[in-house]
Amino acid sequence: SENTMDEDTRQDLRARGDRFKAWAIERTVETSAPVQLLELPLEIVSKATSSRPRDRSETPEEISVSLNPSTVIKTTHVTVTRTQEIEESRMLLPVVSEEQRIMEVINHNPCVVLCGQTGSGKTTQVPQFLYEAGYGSLGTDNPGMIGITQPRRVAAVSMASRLKTEMGDAADRVGYQIRFDSACQPETAIKFMTDGVLLRELATDFLLTRYSVVIVDEAHERSINTDILIGILSRVLKVRAEMSQEEGSTTRPLKLIIMSATLRVSDFVENKTLFGVSPPVIKIDARQFPVTTHFAKRTSLKYVDDVYKKVCKIHNKLPPGGILVFLTGQGEIRQLCSKLKKSFCKTSSSEYTPKVRLSGREVTLEAEDVDFGNDIQDEENSEAEEFEESSSDEMLGCTSQPLHLLPLYSLLPTSEQLKVFQAPPTDHRLCVVATNVAETSITIPGIRYVVDSGKVKEKSYNRDTGVQSYDVKWISRASAEQRSGRAGRTGPGHCYRLYSSAVYERDFNEFTMAEINRAPIEGTVLQMKNMNIDQVVKFPFPTPPESRHLREAEELLSCLGALDSDGRITELGQSMAAFPLSPRFAKMLTIGGQHGCLPYVISIVAGLSVGSPFLEEFSLAEPLDVEDEKQVLTNEQLCKKEQRKRRRKEFFVAQQQFMKLDPMSDVLKLLSVICAFIYSQDKQEFCEKFFLRPKAMEEIDKLRKQLTEIVLSNSPVALGRNGTYEKKPSLPKSVQIKAIRQIVAAGFSDQAAVRADLVPSESIKEFAKGFKKGIIYVVVARSGQLETCLENCLAIVHSSSVINCKTTRQAVPDYIIYQELVRSSGGSDRVYIKPLTPISAQHLTILAKSTPLITYSKPLEYPRPVVSSDGMSRECMVVPRYGVGKGWE
């Protein structure tokens, strides 16, 4: 429907959203007086003792308890007819026996936090309670939809489907929306969606007028989206409450329910900037059977192989009960599944010859025989040890019982995902191989054995480059507990951890840190601005980053042209926000499509992100330690020195190969290396020959491919004529080399330096004389002025830079752009800059137009950038189409 909206409507919506936001945020900052709340105990601890069928007569037909009118929504009860089977299974859920209490607290409070173990029925039941209480009903008194957000798409779709089944005659009132896929109708009353979808809705409808309740599920995961969502919703609640009390208002108050699988909710509850007062916390005690945890003796390195062995052993030797395996991603899951399939899932019986060869004592672990307790044992002294020792690889796949093998990961088609909820065929043992989604989002019935790799694929960030990647990491101890808990839902169970208790104690964090505190702040601020949240410093984060960092991030973003002078996102900023990268690199990629430079720019971004691939022991410059020369050296030392000299010479010759494109630019040298690596036949040999770190080169190449994918998905035509992308970039033409320099400068226009001798300041010149060696530059501060503090402003060209290379007869460039400023580790306060790209003053002025840099010729009067009357467009080719240089087109 958004596509059919005309441009004017869209702009109007956006402007309205903006106004509301500014209004809401300002207002809520003023009104520090807490919203008046009902006197309810802050913690309502309930124990699910018996599954008590609900007595309908207890529920009043009309709920309109009115002590605090701003929080009460007048609703009319709705009856849902479910099948007998569904009703019975619902009765077993701890949340259902607490319906009345939960609804009472929800009715009387604008925001409620609900904690309950995975599988207690939060996600599937609470929306139904609300629906029955009349929250989702439509009509003249329409209070609006019930929205439920999930961090994962799998969960949004599968939970919606489950609810459809449960709600019987009201199935068509359930819908879902995820990115690129929506199943919502006008009559949808309960809407499941990813948190990203609701954030996008907020950008156009800040008051969420279509909703009466929003449930933020899986809040314990603390994704950036969840945190931002809770921050915004805290404001929407207040604004809706205030508006509902205005004379003749038709607006109704909004309810917020935060649901968590853990009790760690203090960031939402105790943070007074969010809701003014602490929202009540409802804890649901779920019945949980004891789970025996077995640690491995040694931590597995090839965990997929070890998982395979473990599953085989469980399947061969242990009593019935489903197996749930935790791995990190689709690749691993498929690998394991195909191995297991070969062993256990032979379809034709002639093909399959069970050979039961149990060496040693046969171990039968009956649930009753085993001393189940929630104690954690090391494998050494556990009953399972014998089971461990008596087994060998030979007997893998020797049981006659077939395995009902099901993978579960987010990219799996929905119909496949939903299979995990169906009972396995008779005589089959269920084995689900899942990602983290089975940790708390999805409860699979009938699991008795959990095999935990201890790993998770986590979004991680390089603080310096802002590059996001998914890395395989250790889970937290809290996650490990959650995973073992999955084995104790239907009866006593076992959890096999493929890591030792020592590793668990030493290497595992207690909790997973909130993503917002791990991610580089510039990227987050850019994303928030892209959601039209203009005042990030005042934003009510559950765990706020330091406001100084937020301000610095805003400054950098305006420097890059991503924000306008009012701090609002520009068109350029919007394009940049599409890249999961540091905003600098995002800008380079955004404007990198000019002159066919994109493949080169992608390579450069990959290279700069990973860091220099050159072996550091050699550098192009002479060693700086002059002292050495004076010492009398022993033969051995002389020999070593000779050897080193020879290696250095070789290194130098090798490096020369890469300096042909541009003898004065480190960045172009890096580009040459990357491209040559792509063409090289034997990568190992190539790295040896040219003094490169193979690991770094591989990483660069991997990132280059990933970035290419991202760019292709953002703008398929950007990467080349006919939309086809050349896998191997050809040699750039001279016009492209010029453009590349400018594109790099556009990403780092706030990191410029001017050669010290060009600065007409006697004191600086005097000071520069103090440096005996090296080429000295004066760093231009972001304000466009020269740094006032002399110690801070003089920087030496790092010894690894090609600018130091003495054989080139080229003049040392006047202006350069640097990526990194490093302080020497020794006692001296010297500052080095690397890697460098020369840039002309004119280009710098144009490319950094959005920054005050244009004024930097004023105070010190060094070579004033020349701006001719007909513009620089002929010279400066990369005048961006995006905002920055509008006057130059």
The helix (H) or strand (E) run that includes residue 294 is strand 291-295
Q: 288-325 burial string, b = 16+ CB within 10 Å, else e?
A: bbebbbbbbeebbeebbebbbbbbbbbbbbbeebbbbb
Residues 407-426 that bind ligand CDP (CB under 6 A): 421
Q: Least separation, in Å, of the C-beta of 155 and ligand CDP?
A: 8
C-beta contacts of 76-79 below 8 A and 24+ residues apart? 76/134, 76/137, 76/141, 77/132, 77/133, 77/134, 78/131, 78/132, 78/133, 78/134, 78/136, 78/137, 78/170, 79/132
The stretch among 78-86, 116-124, 232-240, 650-658 that binds ligand CDP (CB under 6 A) is 116-124
Q: Least separation, in Å, of the C-beta of 170 and ligand CDP?
A: 17
Closer residue to ligand CDP, CB minimum distance, 482 or 736: 482
- Contact, 563 vs 613, CB < 8 A? no
The stretch among 53-61, 119-127, 542-550, 600-608 that binds ligand CDP (CB under 6 A) is 119-127
- Contact, 748 vs 672, CB < 8 A? no
The span from the CA of 633 to the CA of 97, in Å, is 86
The span from the CA of 336 to the CA of 327, in Å, is 9
Q: Least separation, in Å, of the C-beta of 451 and ligand CDP?
A: 19
Place of tokens 């529920």: 59
Q: Least separation, in Å, of the C-beta of 167 and Mg ion?
A: 17
The stretch among 123-131, 393-401, 698-706, 716-724 that binds ligand CDP (CB under 6 A) is 123-131
Q: Least separation, in Å, of the C-beta of 442 and Mg ion?
A: 8
Quick one: which of 17, 110, 119, 865 contacts ligand CDP (CB under 6 A)? 119
Q: Least separation, in Å, of the C-beta of 192 and ligand CDP?
A: 11
- The yes or no reply on residue 445 touching ligand CDP (CB under 6 A) is yes
The span from the CA of 288 to the CA of 236, in Å, is 37
Neighbours of 830 (CB within 10 A): 16
- Tell me which of Mg ion, ligand CDP, none is bound by residue 329, counting a contact when its beta carbon lies within the kind-specific cut-off of 5 to 8 angstroms: none
Q: 445-482 burial string, b = 16+ CB within 10 Å, else e?
A: ebbbbbbbbbbbbbeebeeebbbbbeeebbbbebbbeb
111 three-state secondary structure: strand
Q: Least separation, in Å, of the C-beta of 152 and ligand CDP?
A: 12
The helix (H) or strand (E) run that includes residue 285 is strand 281-285
Q: Least separation, in Å, of the C-beta of 267 and ligand CDP?
A: 20
Q: Least separation, in Å, of the C-beta of 737 and ligand CDP?
A: 57
Both tokens of residue 218? 């899986």
Closer residue to Mg ion, CB minimum distance, 123 or 751: 123
Q: Least separation, in Å, of the C-beta of 373 and ligand CDP?
A: 24
Q: Least separation, in Å, of the C-beta of 336 and ligand CDP?
A: 23
Binding mask 83-112 for ligand CDP (x = CB under 6 A): ----------x-------------------
The helix (H) or strand (E) run that includes residue 405 is strand 403-408
Adjacent-strand bridge partners of 797: 833
- Contact, 562 vs 529, CB < 8 A? yes
Quick one: which of 97, 107, 109, 123 contacts ligand CDP (CB under 6 A)? 123
Binding mask 369-408 for ligand CDP (x = CB under 6 A): ----------------------------------------
- Under rule CB under 6 A, how many of the chain's residues touch ligand CDP? 15
The span from the CA of 825 to the CA of 833, in Å, is 14
Quick one: which of 120, 137, 278, 850 contacts ligand CDP (CB under 6 A)? 120
Q: Least separation, in Å, of the C-beta of 125 and ligand CDP?
A: 6
Strands 429-434 and 322-326: parallel
Q: Is the dihedral of CA 120, 122, 128, 134 positive or negative?
A: positive
Closer residue to Mg ion, CB minimum distance, 126 or 519: 126
The span from the CA of 76 to the CA of 86, in Å, is 24
Q: Least separation, in Å, of the C-beta of 236 and Mg ion?
A: 23
Both tokens of residue 6? 């005309």
Closer residue to ligand CDP, CB minimum distance, 253 or 446: 446
Binding mask 134-173 for ligand CDP (x = CB under 6 A): ------------------------x---x-----------
Q: Least separation, in Å, of the C-beta of 217 and Mg ion?
A: 6
The span from the CA of 875 to the CA of 377, in Å, is 72
- Tell me which of ligand CDP, Mg ion, none is bound by residue 196, counting a contact when its beta carbon lies within the kind-specific cut-off of 5 to 8 angstroms: none
Strands 255-260 and 322-326: unpaired
- Tell me which of ligand CDP, Mg ion, none is bound by residue 391, counting a contact when its beta carbon lies within the kind-specific cut-off of 5 to 8 angstroms: none
The span from the CA of 800 to the CA of 618, in Å, is 8
The helix (H) or strand (E) run that includes residue 292 is strand 291-295
- Contact, 856 vs 786, CB < 8 A? yes
Q: Which residue spans within 665-756 are E strands per DSSP?
A: 752-755
Closer residue to ligand CDP, CB minimum distance, 220 or 497: 220
Quick one: which of 17, 121, 407, 838 contacts ligand CDP (CB under 6 A)? 121
- The yes or no reply on residue 512 touching ligand CDP (CB under 6 A) is no
Adjacent-strand bridge partners of 62: 76
Q: Least separation, in Å, of the C-beta of 159 and Mg ion?
A: 7
End-to-end CA distance of the chain: 35
The stretch among 118-126, 395-403, 709-717, 753-761 that binds ligand CDP (CB under 6 A) is 118-126
Q: Which residue spans within 591-691 are E strands per DSSP?
A: none
Closer residue to ligand CDP, CB minimum distance, 164 or 429: 164
- Tell me which of Mg ion, ligand CDP, none is bound by residue 120, counting a contact when its beta carbon lies within the kind-specific cut-off of 5 to 8 angstroms: ligand CDP
Phi and psi at 63, nearest 5°, equal -100, 110
Phi and psi at 3, nearest 5°, equal -70, -30
Quick one: which of 116, 466, 544, 580 contacts ligand CDP (CB under 6 A)? 116
The stretch among 42-50, 115-123, 735-743, 861-869 that binds ligand CDP (CB under 6 A) is 115-123
- Tell me which of ligand CDP, Mg ion, none is bound by residue 253, counting a contact when its beta carbon lies within the kind-specific cut-off of 5 to 8 angstroms: none
Residues 64-123 that bind Mg ion (CB under 5 A): 122-123
- Contact, 536 vs 529, CB < 8 A? yes
- The yes or no reply on residue 322 touching ligand CDP (CB under 6 A) is no
Task: Work out the burial of residue 15: count CB atoms within 10 Å of its CB; fewer than 13 is exposed, 13-18 middle, 19 or more buried.
Answer: exposed
Closer residue to ligand CDP, CB minimum distance, 164 or 494: 164
- Tell me which of Mg ion, ligand CDP, none is bound by residue 124, counting a contact when its beta carbon lies within the kind-specific cut-off of 5 to 8 angstroms: ligand CDP
Closer residue to Mg ion, CB minimum distance, 122 or 255: 122
Residues 6 or more apart whose CB falls under 8 angstroms from that of 590 comprise: 572, 575, 576, 579, 882
Q: Least separation, in Å, of the C-beta of 120 and Mg ion?
A: 8
Closer residue to ligand CDP, CB minimum distance, 154 or 269: 154
Sequential DSSP letters for 750-807: TSEEEEGGGS--HHHHHHHHT--SS-EEEEEPTTSSBPSSHHHHEEEEPTTSGGG-SS
- Tell me which of ligand CDP, Mg ion, none is bound by residue 551, counting a contact when its beta carbon lies within the kind-specific cut-off of 5 to 8 angstroms: none
Quick one: which of 278, 292, 391, 443 contacts ligand CDP (CB under 6 A)? 443
Q: Least separation, in Å, of the C-beta of 215 and Mg ion?
A: 10
- Which residues in this chain contact Mg ion in the complex, by CB under 5 A? 122-123
- Which residues in this chain contact ligand CDP in the complex, by CB under 6 A? 93, 116, 118-125, 158, 162, 421, 443, 445
